[in-house]
Amino acid sequence: MLRLGRREFDAHEPVIMAIVNRTPDSFYDQGATFRDEPALARVAEAVSEGAAIIDIGGVKAGPGEEVTAEEEARRTVGFVAEVRRRFPDVIISVDTWRHEVGEAVCEAGADLLNDAWGGVDPRLAEVAGRFGVGLVCTHAGGTRPRTRPHRVAYDDVMADILSVTRGLAERAVSLGVPRESVLIDPGHDFGKNTRHSLEATRRLGEMVSTGWPVLVSLSNKDFVGETLDKPVKERVLGTLATTAVSAWLGARVYRVHEVAETRQILDMVASIAGHRPPAVARRGLA
């Protein structure tokens, strides 16, 4: 079972996490949700399209201008509180690696801390345990926050992913994070080249077999762009193909920009797998 915030999800229920970046320089939307009202409108739209989780980030993942913990908190804490007020049942996630920010957003009502940089600040898991919120444990290959991988190499990338994420997950539980609220993430593009990310996708079933629910963050990433030789704005089809493969292999949570399109992909895969009946079944029955 997966439990996040007030929600419980059964074993075959895919969960969509919608991205809402509170940054002026995000790689995909270029700051479209930096201001409060567009960001709140994005939350409303994502929820209406089927997102169960809203993932709020205050720092661009890639290199760029320095963002202090104070500035990151300024961009996220008040917004978390307002989303909690307007959408009391939505699961609020915050994408941060800093324990100071994690503590502030949990006090404001966050349900989940999305640690995309693989435990670089070990105190973040302590915060999640103290507040009893969920935690995403990500493989980042030892990469420092906001840096790009350079000639990274693994003897076996999936073996490293499994070792790191399971270790982070077990530590989180030992610190008080509810076991049913811990997720593991292979960290596509984080500390990886394109071939590593493709292999992580191909072998995702090995992560699923650990028993920890798997989150994938695939949306419009560089490994999709390099695989198809497409710029950022032309990666949706590649992202959705990767989403379908990940769903077939058993991923549980999908961090995305395109909520409605992802919902259709997940519903279709679930129906093919026999976990969801068709929405309408008239053909050949009249």
| Active-site amino acid positions | 221, 255
Query: Is residue 270 within 8 Å of residue 12, measured between CB atoms?
Result: yes
Which whole-number Å values give the CA distances from 27 to 15, 22, 63, in the listed order?
A: 24, 12, 10
What is the amino acid identity at position 35? Answer: R
Which whole-number Å values give the CA distances from 236 to 124, 232, 262, in the listed order?
A: 32, 9, 10
Query: Is residue 169 within 8 Å of residue 182, measured between CB atoms?
Result: yes
Q: In whole angstroms, what is the distance from residue 195 CA to residue 197 CA? A: 5
Percent of the chain as helix, strand, coil, to the nearest 5: 45, 15, 40
